[in-house]
Structure 1
């Protein structure tokens, strides 16, 4: 176990065990496949526990520190008062919000829902109003470095039943130097070829990973014939709704934005001003179920569907599936478990019980809580080393977005 993982346990509180009071909050930094995952185990005095996950990848030590700060006032509190705990964690300091705070809150909130579902012997989606669909559909991602590889991957996915596919262009790969003009040209050519190969029935999206400027993104869209793309994901960073408003006026391609949002306040202008057509919220970053369901309701008022970000492991997936089952306005959930991806994020030795897939659809769990069990001895045996995101530079040597 990484030395930054710490356990905070109540000592000598003398509290009534029947009140489900929080006894321990334990962050666990775990190496799963090619990435680290920050899991959080919340245990109550009667021995019941729930699992959560934080989504602030590569900055897990900051989230662990915040969780340990939260533990100072959460130990001894009633774990069933989930909404109140959310508010105290968010408002219990002078400085409001911030993605380290909400990443920590996300993990706690998910774990508390898992706990309550187990305590009441129901799946988490029953706590959210019950399921509105019988399965949760997903979109798969091609990671090919060439157009031939991408077309072959999509052919495999179509044969396996996927109706929606997102490409991650080879020109947007993980080299140290990123040339936006070359990437725009190559990616447009690839997408046109994919559309010609598979026709209009395939729902096709592309993830630009917020690497472009407004002008570069507009030029990219202008290179695509009408109908090439069904959605364009994260073309620019989301700090500036004004920039997205400008880009929205320059193209008719639907946007899929929101994985960077760390609160309903960040999501608000994109919903109210129609700056995205699909809401890509991440339940492990936006504030857990408590905040995600508020954003979902806000989106419903504006006839906007959720397309949740789901880049992590079985806990994030289970939380996303439970949320997606319980909302009326849903399109597809991102999956990292298709046959054309190999990342090890859902290692069954570490996670012997997890939400299963039937082709492109997640099957809703009927067990209590999230539907995930973790082999703690197995995860403790995993060697954890820091994983740093690529630091990209442009051809002139300046720093750019990853």
Structure 2
């Protein structure tokens, strides 16, 4: 079997774009992958065109060999864009292998460790009374784990471009409303908060002090993750478990966080970290350090499917991020079939490969549109994190 073509499809999928990669073979089997650098799809397309020149003619079943060749093919190893494109290609190769053998991908990764894949919901931002109603509604629907975002309660605040975000004010709001959520849903519901790396070490430590008795399952990405020493400092200032890693694009970026005990839940992004090949290695490394895997999954249906196969195949899985409000926007003509959730969990996929289909002809009806992640500012006009 040989690779005959590698195609990229930056397509509109709901409120933003996704980047789908299709790897075709002379056996008539095509595999799908997805790159995770949302908002930079054209950059991924450019990198893919370079990699396509290497891939055509290769045996798609040599997955590890291809991973190493792509990663080492440029003098400047690593990087977010290259990591995302290698991820998409890698996922597509596993899809091809599964289809060629007539088995779901998780069977190739060691078989199923569980019968269902548990997810957590993200009902609302901790900015006002609305989060209480959304939390109670989610629990009534059967969700047992809820993750909340943070923001501001200013009149007219939308969270879009130009929004004001003041960390200290957001901390106060989040501390107040997470306590109210805990009262509303009771002690049996797992709660998490995602600060989207918006805080400094001091701000994050202050927040942790304010809510330490709430019983959070995890605090996600409270500070930026480029400097492990900053997380080491924060780790010494609180006992709250951390969920970290969605920004990492290879195993080496995870290294200090795993080896030094800086994270409790590994937020592996299969579409950014190097695909299923790299994710499986990181998961095994985490298992040796008693760290559970909680994949980052805010993207399209190929991302969700790839995550399901990873989660099914590892013993140290905690929960999968699943944004139902995003999944509801997947165009059915573009993705005729993909895994669907049942309650708050997914059943094991049973289709060969990933279990996702993609209509290449329908892509023209979902043309790429430039989209930027929100740009936020402090009141003094300085840039802050989204």
Instruction: Normalising by structure 2, report the TM-score.
Output: 0.96
Report what 1:379 is aligned to: 363
Question: What is the rounded CA distance, in whole Å, between the counterparts of 2:232 and 2:23 in structure 1?
Answer: 41
Choose the corresponding residue for 1:393, options 370, 377, 385.
Answer: 377
Report what 2:250 is aligned to: 263
Question: What is the rounded CA distance, in whole Å, between the counterparts of 1:211 and 1:69 in structure 2?
Answer: 34
Counterparts of residues 181-260 of structure 1 (less than 5 Å): 181-260=168-247
Deviations 1:335-364, CA, capped at 9 Å, x for gaps: 011xxx366443333222111211001111
SS in 2 for 1:141: coil
Count of residues in correspondence between the two structures? 380
Question: What is the rounded CA distance, in whole Å, between the counterparts of 2:13 and 2:147 in structure 1?
Answer: 23
Choose the corresponding residue for 2:330, options 338, 346, 352.
Answer: 346
Question: What is the rounded CA distance, in whole Å, between the counterparts of 1:128 and 1:178 in structure 2?
Answer: 43
Q: Contact 2:244–2:266 at 8 Å: present in 1 too? A: yes
Choose the corresponding residue for 2:110, options 129, 147, 153.
Answer: 129
Q: Contact 1:314–1:345 at 8 Å: present in 2 too? A: no
Deviation at 1:391, TM superposition (A): 1.6
Question: What's the Cα RMSD here?
Answer: 1.4
Question: Is the counterpart of residue 174 in structure 1 residue 155 in structure 2?
Answer: no
Choose the corresponding residue for 1:323, options 310, 335, 354.
Answer: 310
Question: Is the counterpart of residue 89 in structure 1 residue 70 in structure 2?
Answer: yes
Q: Contact 1:34–1:344 at 8 Å: present in 2 too? A: no
Choose the corresponding residue for 2:90, options 82, 91, 109.
Answer: 109
Report what 1:355 is aligned to: 339
Question: What is the rounded CA distance, in whole Å, between the counterparts of 2:318 and 2:326 in structure 1?
Answer: 24
Q: Contact 2:127–2:174 at 8 Å: present in 1 too? A: no
Report what 1:370 is aligned to: 354
Question: Is the counterpart of residue 165 in structure 1 residue 150 in structure 2?
Answer: no
SS in 2 for 1:226: helix
SS in 1 for 2:219: strand
Range that drifts further, 40-49 or 171-180: 171-180
Deviation at 1:198, TM superposition (A): 1.6
SS in 1 for 2:255: helix
Counterparts of residues 29-178 of structure 1 (less than 5 Å): 29-144=10-125, 146-171=127-152, 174-175=159-160, 176-178=163-165
Structure 1 residue runs of 5 or longer lacking an equivalent are 1-19
Question: What is the rounded CA distance, in whole Å, between the counterparts of 1:25 and 1:364 in structure 2?
Answer: 29
Structure 2 residue runs of 5 or longer lacking an equivalent are none
Choose the corresponding residue for 1:286, options 258, 273, 277.
Answer: 273
Question: What is the rounded CA distance, in whole Å, between the counterparts of 2:55 and 2:338 in structure 1?
Answer: 28
